Amino acid sequence: MININLIMPTLGRSKEVFEYINSLRNSSEIELYKINLYIMDQNNNDLLSILEDYAFDKVNEEVIKSKIRGLSLNRNIGLHNTISGLCAFPDDDCLYYENTLRQVTKFFKENIDVDIVLGRIFDRNTQKNIIKNWPDKEVIVNKFNFYHLSSSITIFLRDKPNILFDDRLGAGAEFGSCEDPDFLYRLLQQGKKIVYTPSIDVWHPTPDESTISLDKVNSYASGFGAFIRKDFALVKLYLLLGCVAKKCFQCLFMNKSFKKGYFKAFFTGLYKGITQF
């Protein structure tokens, strides 16, 4: 039986957590897996008592009450509680398709030299990519493409990692993003073999960029700046220059498409991340 550890911090959601668990229960070949779902509950209410009202067979849920908020910090709490086995980091508003786990285990079985496989975020109903323009072919992940292939909910590790997420990065931290590319970057530095494949996909709601607050813009940009500053290398300079060039182009030629104050918030956050991390 294949041991699968799923680590999910949650804040402000319960219905979505139930929907995710239901998506796990609908997994094909589920009898071949021992699914352990670690839920780091940062809510003020008691998610455990709510979950007890539902009969979730086939999935072992462990709800860990956390008084400290932060996505990376709570993923690390989950990692400390896991046993050996395949690890993944679903968001509390994502869903797995019925064959997501089957495709993951199949990939690892057929590629015994691969330590980590990355999938894509994809809507099967509309046949459209979500969040990023994910490649439609398999790609070996390296230090020049990892950033554009990174999303924490599409990371599947063959076994429990020997590193943790940097809890200074990510939602709820001082620098509010880039915990996932930082995690992958450090795994690459360890010599781990990472492959991206479009054959593994998960679902996540499409973010509405028009409603994002300027505080979030600032926070996300500070996370990117902090990631660039941390263990600075030439590949990170390349990412920084590409990002700045893109934002300058958008400011000059697409300004009306963005919320007033967007670019000020972005560049202020970027400067903070680079100078204060």
Model pLDDT for residues 218-236, shown as the tens digit of each residue: 999 999 999 999 999 999 9
Instruction: Among 153, 181, 203, identify where a domain stops.
Output: 203
Q: How far is CA 118 from CA 26, 83, 94, 152, in A?
A: 22, 21, 16, 9
Tell me the C-alpha distance between 187 and 207, whole Å. 28
Question: Same domain for 197 and 213?
Answer: no
Question: Same domain for 252 and 152?
Answer: no
In this structure, what are the phi and psi dihedrals at residue 162, rounded to the nearest 5 degrees? -100, 10
70 torsion bin: left (phi>0), alpha (psi -120 to 50), beta (else): left
Question: Same domain for 162 and 213?
Answer: no
List Cβ neighbours of 274 (8 Å cut-off, separation of 6 or more).
225, 226, 228, 229
Average pLDDT over residues 26-51: 85
Question: Same domain for 150 and 248?
Answer: no
Tally of domains within the chain: 2
Query: How many percent of the chain have pLDDT more than 70?
Result: 96
CATH number at residue 24: 3.90.550.10
Question: Same domain for 102 and 133?
Answer: yes
Question: Same domain for 165 and 265?
Answer: no
In this structure, what are the phi and psi dihedrals at residue 204, rounded to the nearest 5 degrees? -150, 140
pTM, to two decimals:
0.95
Question: Same domain for 22 and 58?
Answer: yes
Query: How many percent of the chain have pLDDT more than 90?
Result: 83
Model pLDDT for residues 233-246, shown as the tens digit of each residue: 999 999 999 999 99
Tell me the C-alpha distance between 155 and 180, whole Å. 9
- DSSP secondary structure letter of residue 154: G
Question: Same domain for 60 and 104?
Answer: yes
